[in-house]
Amino acid sequence: MEPKEYVEDNWPYVLSLMPANLEELCFSRLAMLRRREISSAQDYLRLCMAYSICDMSFRQAAAWATATGLADISDVAVMKRLRAAPDWLGAVIAEWLYQRGLTRETPVRAVSVVDATTVSSPGSHGADWRLHLHMDLADRSIRRVELTSADEGERLTRFKVTGDEIILGDRAYATPTGIAHVLNEHGHIVLRIRWTLPVESLAGKRFNILDLFETLGRDEIGDWPVQLSRNGTTYPLRMVAIRKSEAAAEKCRRELRREARKKRRKLNKETLRAAGFIAVVTDLPPEELTCTQVLELYRMRWQIELAFKRLKSLLGFKRLRAKDDNICQAYLMTKILGALVIQELNGQVLDFFPWGFRLPGPTAESVETTGYVC
């Protein structure tokens, strides 16, 4: 379905997916104070989608609204409506998620898949906004969204963690401070790590992670007990690693070299060595989560990548079209709502592996003196 169809031919169906209290939310969040040119929350939302989903300018949105009989409105009036919309649109997204199963209470024993992406403003060559997504592992659907400034980085200390909650995340989240935060709150982690993470042996000695990884053979999964020290506290962990296929490793190295050339910086040879492996740390014991299950659980984090690709490619989400903060937020929030509509219509399917091949079925685990090898 083309984006324009969402606000034209298929608008009645799209509207049927919206929260039943759409009108109430619009007035309670002060998005609409008086019924003038735009007389209902439905028309208001349709105008927001014309601007954001269809990427119309203010003038184009005004002309479209007049031509379709939605409202006789000027481009300045469109701008003012969008400027007033962010809080309301955020509430609509939250209500959408609540009505599809997101509990209003902090979940117990939840699995939170977290990731973030940056978005640029017009004329900007850097990151101006950061979009944080949480995805539910059970049904592989977007469960929470949060829009912050680019200064709000990818760090686990941003999240309130409940006991027994498992946090899945990529390398940006795997820092000593973030890991300690989750474990101190009695949560659990399954995080991909960089080779620079300062883990130690159980004897408290530092070692070269890459030397350990290179002992792995093809299709072999390493599982070693390690520990992490932070502010005088020692946290026992497991480090699970797998050697990538040669094709997957070489693809990663090409990307690293291209990025280094683009940024005109020297590429560390250790980084190229690390490109041949994927490593994950967890605090969950082997009897609760086997090494194969650790990697499969981490693979689910890639569902977030699919969500971002849908936002960035299908909905043109890479760059904003306005510099006003409120209009930027309205644009982004409407894009997110559009992604949720697409998700509802199409569902999500993902069957690829970041290490380049499907893992074998359950196998017996042999315990070595250095740890577990599957």
Q: Which CATH class is domain 111-306+350-373?
A: alpha beta
Q: What is the mean pLDDT of the chain?
A: 82
Report pLDDT digits (tens) over 207-221: 999 999 999 998 899
Q: What does the alpha-carbon distance between residue 150 and residue 158 come to, in Å, rounded to a whole number?
A: 14
Ranges assigned E (strand) in the chain: 111-119, 129-136, 141-149, 166-169, 188-192, 221-230, 233-243, 277-282, 366-368, 371-373
Residue environment code for 170-190, b if the CB has 16+ CB neighbours within 10 A, otherwise e: bbbbbbeebbbbbbeeebbbb
- Return the pLDDT at 106: 44
80-89, 150-159, 303-312: segment of lowest average pLDDT: 303-312
Residue with the bigger pLDDT between 28 and 250: it is 250
Is the pLDDT at 135 greater than 80, yes or no?
no
3-state helix, strand, coil in the chain (%, to 5): 40, 20, 40
Is the pLDDT at 247 greater than 50, yes or no?
yes
Residue with the bigger pLDDT between 276 and 126: it is 276
What are the extents of the domains in the chain?
A: 3-99+320-346, 111-306+350-373
Confidence of residue 251 (pLDDT cuts 50, 70, 90): very high
Asked if 202 contacts 306 with a C-beta cutoff of 8 angstroms, the reply is no
Confidence of residue 161 (pLDDT cuts 50, 70, 90): confident
Confidence of residue 282 (pLDDT cuts 50, 70, 90): very high
Q: What does the alpha-carbon distance between residue 131 and residue 154 come to, in Å, rounded to a whole number?
A: 10
Model's pTM, two decimal places? 0.67
Confidence of residue 109 (pLDDT cuts 50, 70, 90): low
> Which token pair is 270?
């250790």
Is the pLDDT at 230 greater than 90, yes or no?
yes
- Return the pLDDT at 96: 86
Q: What is the CA radius of gyration of the chain?
A: 24
Q: What are the DSSP calls for 257-286, one per residue?
A: HHHHHHHT-PPPHHHHHHTTEEEEEE-S-T
Percent of the chain beyond pLDDT 90? 39
Residue with the bigger pLDDT between 312 and 39: it is 39
Q: What are the DSSP calls for 315-344, one per residue?
A: S--SB-S--SHHHHHHHHHHHHHHHHHHHH
